[in-house]
Structure 1
Amino acid sequence: MSDDRQPPARFNAARYCLAGNARARPDKSALILAGEDGPRARLSFGEVDRAVRGIAAGLLGLGLAPGARVMIRMGNEADYVLVYFGALAAGLVALPASPQLTPAEAGFLMENSGAAIVVAGAGCPIDPAGLGGRILLGPAEIAAMKAGPPLAGYADTAADDPATLVYTSGTTSRPKGVLHAHRAIYGRRPMHAHWLGLRADDVMLHAGTMNWTYTLGVGLSDPWAVGAGTVLYDGPRDPAIWPRLIARYRATLFAAVPSLYRQILKYADLAAADLSSLRHGCTAGEALPVDLLEAWQAATGKPLYEALGMSEISTYVSSGPTIPVRPGSPGRPQPGRRVAILPVDGPPEPLPPGETGLLAIHRSEPGLMLGYWNRPEEEAAVMRGDWFVGGDLAALDPDGYLWFAGRNDDLMNAMGYRVSPNEVEGVLGAHPDVVEVGVAERAVRADVRVICGFVVLRAGAEPDADALLAWCRARLAAYKCPREIRFLAGLPRTPNGKVQRKRLDEAAGAA
């Protein structure tokens, strides 16, 4: 008997999302790129399919070998989407990069990935001198590819062939690449019914930027996999815009991080907005506070469904149309997922309900990453027998709902992005006035945590928090930058000399 949880042996992620739609509904709206005052771009499935295959043919015409990395350095523009799927259609590996990255950060990704091509948008200038012989493509070259002869068919890739390389913060001072196969998009299928409630007649409005896996997955791949349309936004980040966009485009689903839902409640006039088209909201990237869940439902009368995921696996635990919301829990493992709680130490034998341990998912999961790019030691560290362990401490109750107990490491969560304290410490520690530094999350409200730098200055240096924050902003993407600096006489350490990050805030309060 075949396992319908697993994709066919020959499987291309772009073909899965686009080819059937181009045949069955070529004139249906696939993507609207909305501006503040109206659409900036509107593409049908037929147009997306044609443009994606044109870009695929253009990329292959440059002599790239299968699996070559294509780094995408663009803002929220339609070409970002087309280049991303074009790389997959060609059998290449798409590397979506944030436009917020500094030149040094972007350079690290380019070098570490061994990218063969860098595709740059108009708002992301790149110094050709720093390319190291790599091919640089700009808007004019992409436009020519879209207009050129298209690839006759999508690349005949295997389900396990590499498709996407996503960089995320790890336990070292540099981001690490998470390599996903084409099968990862097929592995998203349990989300469609059990979290998103996706249907072919849906219009998904997603609030994220295009480089984020939350946007590329929930905002694009998932709707397209069922024939639904997507609306993305490229305009001023005013929280009050989102109810207007829901009304203007008759969005049936809205996806964002919890902090944006809170901003909408605070700054938007929901009573004046026509939300009649909206069935429910979806949220991921951060834990959903109970008070926010209740406030949103009271203000809109619409359900809010949460999901838990990570770069290595995407979302696999959720509430949704088939999984009733239980406030304070992100939900239950989606049907078909093999999820367990393992002991922190000892053999990887699943624990019974109610016991706290490491949250794990079975290696048979089709959405699980292929591995970390050139980091075999970190791959080994996250595998416990047949289980992938991401570092979250949790318990499953007798009804299967997940309850968090914190993290087993020090990774921080900033606006849905995982950020390594080591990376931020490396930047702060390079400042000439800084002798020692520790970085950790700090609670500023009951449900809001920010990245904070705890700094020991050299003798005679003046404490200047603004100068240190500016130093970080010049060297780190905005989402990685500390929001606060606290000055200490010394950092709390273990007897072995290791900085105790969990005690940094306590030490600052006692200083």
Structure 2
Amino acid sequence: MPITDDRQPPARFNAARYCLDENARLRGDKTALIMVGENGPVGRLTYAQADRAVRGIAAGLLGLGLKAGDRVMIRMGNETDYVLVYFGALAAGLVALPSSPQLTADEAAFLMQNAGVAAVVTGTGLSDAGAGGPAGCIRLDSEAIAAMKAGEPLADYADTAADDPATLVYTSGTTSRPKGVLHAHRAIWGRRPMHAHWLGLTESDVMLHAGTMNWTYTLGVGITDPWACGATTVLYNGPRDRGIWPRLIAEQGATIFAAVPSVYRQILKYADLAEHDLSRLRHGVTAGEALSSDLHEAWTRATGKPLYEALGMSEISTYVSSGPTIPVRPGSPGRPQPGRRVTILPAEGPPEPLPAGETGLLAIHRTDPGLMLGYWRRPEEEAAVMRGEWFAGGDLARLDTDGYLWFQGRNDDLMNAMGYRVSPVEVESVLAGHPDIAEVGVTELAVRTDLRVIAAFVVLRPGAEPDADGLIAWCGDRLAAYKAPRAIRFLNALPRTANGKVQRKRLAETAA
């Protein structure tokens, strides 16, 4: 039964209205979004402009005959219209499907077919992005979106229920194909504990996010959370200069900076922090991959600014963190945010919470409003992660007596690549198609104490010559860049169990 306390949203709830309607009325002239290019701002939206554009797109989409629950796939780079189309779909009662511009045509076509998209919106430089969709799929480009923004707007946001579907994001599953994670409108309400306890986010803040818009980390922390609080978002769409972020923090007066740990590492290595005025920055936040104690110490020593970590996943976003109300404990991502019901369950047997100090599956109560509705057309995987009243996504961890969480790895083989979960099966299936490969196993490989990459362990066919660069290029043509292996190791045989199954967890030992 759903819990009935103030953690739950109203029964009728639209996520786009929650982020834009009141802001447009109370602070319509305030800057909601700044898009920065290589040479400075290239776009700026006030809350009134964002509200008007979103309702215009919503009306345009419905005018094409789309109906509540239809999926709208977004195939764009870091463009202002990405944000507006995303919220426009929600405003219309449709389901937004954000996707990465790094996806190959085949990968994008799978998502379109699997989701049964009714429309796909393409951005600059993605001429083939609408190919491969289901019959009747409507294809929209930037000109079509511009016409919608200028057209008659929807009079009001769709009267959706909190449990109505709003967003479909794809992440790695246990098979060779990604799985869709379906979220309801209430997921945005479920983010509220992050605002005070991880982000320290208020109306007066300027949030600079280093990620791309297709990523749930960017859509959530970089855009949705600031808009839910009436703050200002700054995003960057210029060349990926590894040292550019301190300059943008200074120029845009960012008070909060969000990125993955590897970006903080690159800043310390490539940027001259003394050249930039970081006085307005209150703190940095990080998620997507583990923050090492050494990197945390180096950042705070170099900048004098706190750095707060969070742990989350596509199915629930971040729910364990340090922050202004949760003191940092190096090596731990923090404690469950106040209001969250988090526990540790045994990996096998009845789902009875374990005592402090014992390692098991990290779980969150199924009544959390931020929890997904379920997996898209994957009932068997959905059943596997629901343990009684708990959702357990496969992370192994323990909680100490002070409530701090200590991550102990995964209970499955899923890998973490630049903050994205990647299935080894998906990478293996691509490499298995190479004519020189007899056998292949894929896993994460530690190349430094604080850096892990996807590595492929290959057994060649007789007569084939080792060609690591060629195999990496083969993957690059068939996989999004973040899924492709960064290292290739050649073996005479793969480690296997007595039943012949590849032991992925032992692969890294062969590279020692």
Matched residue, 2:401: 398
Q: Which of the residues 355, 358, 370 maps onto 1:355?
A: 358
Matched residue, 2:22: 20
**How far did residue 171 of structure 1 move?**
1.1
Paired with 1:127 and 1:186, the residues of 2 have a C-alpha distance of 32
TM-score (norm 1): 0.99
Matched residue, 1:249: 252
Q: Where has structure 1 moved over 6 Å in runs of 4 or more?
A: none
Matched residue, 2:421: 418
SS at match of 2:326: coil
Mapping of residues 232-311 of structure 1, within 5 Å: 232-311=235-314
Matched residue, 1:497: 500
**How far did residue 126 of structure 1 move?**
2.0
% identical equivalent positions: 79
**How far did residue 507 of structure 1 move?**
2.4
Paired with 1:40 and 1:507, the residues of 2 have a C-alpha distance of 49
1:47 aligns with 2:49: yes
Contact 2:258 2:284 (8 Å CA) reproduced: yes
C-alpha distance after superposition, 1:74-105 (max 9, x if no partner): 00000000000000000000000000000000
**How far did residue 125 of structure 1 move?**
1.3
Paired with 1:196 and 1:508, the residues of 2 have a C-alpha distance of 39
SS at match of 2:396: strand
SS at match of 1:349: coil
Matched residue, 1:336: 339
Paired with 1:124 and 1:251, the residues of 2 have a C-alpha distance of 31
Paired with 2:406 and 2:130, the residues of 1 have a C-alpha distance of 49
What one-letter code is carried by the residue in structure 2 that aligns with 1:375?
R
What one-letter code is carried by the residue in structure 2 that aligns with 1:96?
P
Mapping of residues 412-491 of structure 1, within 5 Å: 412-491=415-494
SS at match of 2:224: helix
Contact 1:36 1:241 (8 Å CA) reproduced: no
Give the number of equivalent residue pairs.
Answer: 509
Matched residue, 2:10: 8
Paired with 2:285 and 2:258, the residues of 1 have a C-alpha distance of 5
Query: Aligned pair in 2 of structure 1 residues 128, 165: CA closer, same or farther (>3 Å)?
Result: closer
**How far did residue 123 of structure 1 move?**
1.7
What one-letter code is carried by the residue in structure 2 that aligns with 1:201?
S
1:99 aligns with 2:101: yes
1:226 aligns with 2:247: no
1:506 aligns with 2:498: no
Matched residue, 1:186: 189
Paired with 1:232 and 1:189, the residues of 2 have a C-alpha distance of 22
What one-letter code is carried by the residue in structure 1 that aligns with 2:387?
R
Paired with 1:242 and 1:379, the residues of 2 have a C-alpha distance of 39
Q: Which of the residues 321, 324, 336 maps onto 1:321?
A: 324
Contact 1:487 1:508 (8 Å CA) reproduced: no
Paired with 1:198 and 1:53, the residues of 2 have a C-alpha distance of 26
SS at match of 2:285: strand
SS at match of 1:99: coil
Contact 1:173 1:426 (8 Å CA) reproduced: yes
Query: Aligned pair in 2 of structure 1 residues 125, 332: CA closer, same or farther (>3 Å)?
Result: same
C-alpha distance after superposition, 1:99-118 (max 9, x if no partner): 00000000000000000101
C-alpha distance after superposition, 1:445-492 (max 9, x if no partner): 011000000011111111111111110000000000000111111110
**How far did residue 508 of structure 1 move?**
3.8
**How far did residue 345 of structure 1 move?**
1.0
Matched residue, 1:169: 172
1:367 aligns with 2:350: no
Contact 1:488 1:508 (8 Å CA) reproduced: no
Matched residue, 1:56: 58
C-alpha distance after superposition, 1:145-198 (max 9, x if no partner): 000000000000000000000000111110000000000000000000000001
Contact 1:80 1:210 (8 Å CA) reproduced: yes
Where do 5+ consecutive residues of structure 1 fail to align? none
Where do 5+ consecutive residues of structure 2 fail to align? none
SS at match of 1:480: coil
Paired with 1:129 and 1:489, the residues of 2 have a C-alpha distance of 41
What one-letter code is carried by the residue in structure 2 that aligns with 1:312?
E
**How far did residue 2 of structure 1 move?**
5.3
What one-letter code is carried by the residue in structure 1 that aligns with 2:413?
D
What one-letter code is carried by the residue in structure 1 that aligns with 2:238?
G
Matched residue, 1:195: 198
Moved more, 420-429 or 236-245: 236-245
